[in-house]
Amino acid sequence: MAVDSTLLNTMRVAKETVVAIEYTLKDDQGNIIDASGDRGPMEYLHGAQNIIPGLEQGIDGLVAGDTKKVLVPPQLGYGEYNEKLLQLVPLTAFGANTPQVGMRFHAETNLGMRVLTIKKIEGEEVTLDGNHELAGKTLHFDIKVVSVRAAEPTELAHGHPHQSGGCCGGGCGSGEASGGGCCSSEEGSAGGCCSTEEPAAAQKQGGCGSGGCGCS
């Protein structure tokens, strides 16, 4: 009796699996906001809040090779737009720098460290927006499941995947780098959830922040 190859590698996406997906993210108007594209597939640990809840729900139960359109409303994505996260600061607060609409920077706020975007400049007043750039947006994902595998115990313990540069970039202490594992410096450039770069849109901000990736 011949082995049906379709029965091989049919692990379904479920809690405690490491999933790699390719995705394209569009807004309501069909504009592409983000895509895995040249970065290659995004790997994440399913059920560990590595990615936004709506996307995770949409991927649940799929197998490698599946493609799907996943519609994520704001409440299952980056939240509703919150007017309270707007604040006015005087132009003088920028000192010698010339603020421009659309500029983004990290700043300490009463809600902790946030990315602020300059939304408006009027006269001597600058409006800063602490909302995530995708807050209030319905997200249209086109995804393809590239692979599904069981998570390793250490991945479960750390709450993130450890291979293919999926995680543990700049967030790891240099002392741990020599130990290999997910903290090697080579992987730091891969832009996983611990890199100092802006996380991929599909990844939740702060999913792997300080201490989340000690890899000890």
Summarize as ranges the residues that interact with Zn ion (CB under 5 A). Answer: 158, 168, 182, 215
93 with 104: CB under 8 angstroms? no
d(CA 23, CA 34): 8
CB nearer Zn ion, residue 111 or residue 157: 157
Give min distance, CB of 113 to Zn ion, in A: 22
Give min distance, CB of 162 to Zn ion, in A: 6
Give min distance, CB of 166 to Zn ion, in A: 10
CB nearer Zn ion, residue 200 or residue 213: 213
CA proximity to 151, closest of 22, 21, 11, 51: 11
Residue type, 42: M
Closest residue to Zn ion: CB criterion: 158
Give min distance, CB of 159 to Zn ion, in A: 8
Exposure letters 46-67 (e unless 16+ CB within 10 A, then b) = bbbbbbbebbbebbeebebebe
CB nearer Zn ion, residue 137 or residue 158: 158
User: How far apart, in Å, are the Cα atoms of 41 and each of 79, 185, 191?
Assistant: 25, 20, 12
CB nearer Zn ion, residue 65 or residue 173: 173
